[in-house]
Structure 1
Amino acid sequence: MVVNGIHTSTEYHGKLDTIAVHGSGEAKTNGAAVLPVHNSVTYGVRGEYKDGCAFYTRPADTPNHAELAKKMALLEGTKAAVVTASGMAAISSTLFALLRSGDHLIIQDNVYGGTHELVHEEFPSLGIEHTTVDPQDPAQWEQALRPNTKVFYVESISNPLVRVTDLAGVAGFARRHGITPVVDNTFASPVLCRPADMGFVVVHSATKFLNGHSDLLAGVVSSSRDFIGKVTQKMVMYGGCLDPHACFLLNRGMATLGLRMRQQCASALAIAEMLQQHPMVENVSYPALASSPDHALATKLFGGRGGGVLSFVLRGSMAQTKAFLGHLHLPFVAPSLGGVESLVCLPAETSHLALGPDGRKAAGIPETLVRLSVGVEDTADLIQDIQQALAAAGIKNCHVSNGGAPH
């Protein structure tokens, strides 16, 4: 259904795996099992333009955009959604819809590098202020609050330290103070949690787990019908529309979201448990580990699952850490995450390069931190490959205490 130009969810309430495959169930064309790609940029109008009819691609009006938005709204449990050209387009369109010059936002102290640059480098030039806080420390939230605070921005699972945010606490704080909570749910996905149920505006880099195949850039925002209308206006203004063929690919990729995530979560936990016991590993950050400081929170929010990403620091130099990466056969050494293939990188040289050494130190990101996005390969094969790469790198067993997440 389309109301005021915004694609909204229907009354269909299947479980996640069923929604991921069938979406709203309204998109079949001429009996086709798969919605075809509508490549036309413009659409003819006879007589008066009627709301809900495809008109032009940039406002995300095509049938491909419409079905994808409805599917995402159903998965997140929201009234509406809009798809964008990238995760950063989703994040920036959302924040520009909420903030003006003179406003202030609270943002957690460890976020994706692109978000960090937007808030720390771009917003000051626009007269938008911010304060960083620990997403698990309510005392800091109270201290950061100002009369002009409009937004509290967090990540459900942080990038790259894989820490869990107290989503219920943040949502309650935002309600009490009349500010809008926004969460980047990329690492968790709707498989692990649906923050909209707590009152969050939810953003995703759909490039990652939602698509799952490392072959497109996309973003999604899910929220109320009225707010998605405001986000769509910003998306249209700044040209952040996703093209119809990418919509087609994302719709297809999302069909296996639940299947992929269950395998990735299971493998990530097994790998994290192996690494935690390995003498060459200094520490491991993965919330489903029983030893993780976030285990209780992950159990409450995610049913004990930790997602498909973990990070760890090896006992050794940068050269030895890079040697470890070089000896891996299965994980692909590259940025990004969430694909069917395992991906491994050093955030200091990829996602968080722009922070610089001082910025990374302040954010608690060691230069030798390794981020591993676990794919759907056989778990035993991945573990064997990681073990042989550790041995081949010759990382020494330094006298450093083991356990605990990097801060």
Structure 2
Amino acid sequence: MTSYLLKGVSVLGGAKQDLVIRDGIIADGGKADETIDADGLVALPGLVDLHTHLREPGREDAETVETGSRAAALGGYTAVCAMANTSPVADTAGVVEQVWRLGREAGLVDVQPIGAVTVGLAGTQLAELGAMATSAANVRIFSDDGFCVADPRLMRRALEYVKAFDGIIAQHAEEPRLTEGAQMHEGEVSTRLGLTGWPAVAEEAIIARDVLLAEHVGSRLHVCHVSTAGSVEVLRQAKARGVRVTAEVTPHHLLLTDELAASYDPVFKVNPPLRTRADVEALRQALVDGVIDVVATDHAPHAVQDKECEWAYARPGMVGLETALPVVLSVLGERWDLIADRMSRTPAKIVGLDGHGGELTAGSPANLTLVDPSARRVVDPSELASRSRNTPYAGTTLPGRIVATFLRGVPTVLDGKAVK
């Protein structure tokens, strides 16, 4: 295995130092086979995404495990959690093991499958949670993302079941009876445009219900893609009571607002929808405060025909793996330790990914990424590694450039380009 000297690198924005990568770990000095001039670069622990849609099996026209893994590596990620809404749904040990093996074969990031909570994401019968947990994929998070586990009795049963092995239920918080036919955030803009609104309370009501269930059961709950100021307050109160709840926010909900829907460009259609400026500000503060624990991309690639159509018929979702860190940099600034915590340490801890999210010190696994904070990038959809092009940042200049990514000491990205 080739060894590398990262010369003059700044770990988490600190003083310049030399890091040596040898035999898959960060070594305590010594010589190396190759030297990378890292002057001006910042080293972060490899990023970990709790919410990625890789589409395989079933929708390889939109994304595959390999193409999504390559996009992740180029975004500075060393591990991603693959959502269950594939075709067939990842609701059995066989399907989650297939996704896990495809990730290992690609060898670009560690792909950790997320299992479905219910059979076929239908919300009526629990899936094979135990079988998925004991499979080779070692599933620890279960989610029907894309659909809410709306039945409270079923949600309670799921929380009770996974408690036995300290698993997590990750909820897509959306009361479906309040969002039927919804096209965007319910508010002044939706009224002006004449589009059916998706009210904030549809998210907040489910979160409130589920934190009470999690508190009653004593189990772990994770809330996907929090998008409203009201949700933040529900989470703040739950955490103050000691409820075992964690939450994520997406880069796009930290930056974009519902005003963009006025363009009727379906690239801005997402679930949950883009919210108001006040919601964006509340989400940013909650991320800093730790009320929201992590940034997760909700990377949602779609084939051309599913996005380049009328707004009402377009599938919701945006790609985000390759732009997540630059967007977060534009929001938080160069607060490197905070970024490392919200995008690497904490997500790795939540899902239990040993070897990821660690300190960049001698003896630690060499899962890391190098960032050039002085670089500026104009997002060109045609240059994305993802098989899909539905980015909301086309033509936007974002700060920061991923120069290199290492997975257990093996480079997956060098000089900003995928190694394989």
User: What TM-score, normalized by structure 2, do the two folds share?
Assistant: 0.29
Q: Report 1 or 2 for greater relative contact order, CA contacts < 8 Å, sequence distance ≥ 6.
A: 2
Larger gyration radius, structure 1 or structure 2: 1
Higher fraction of strand: 2
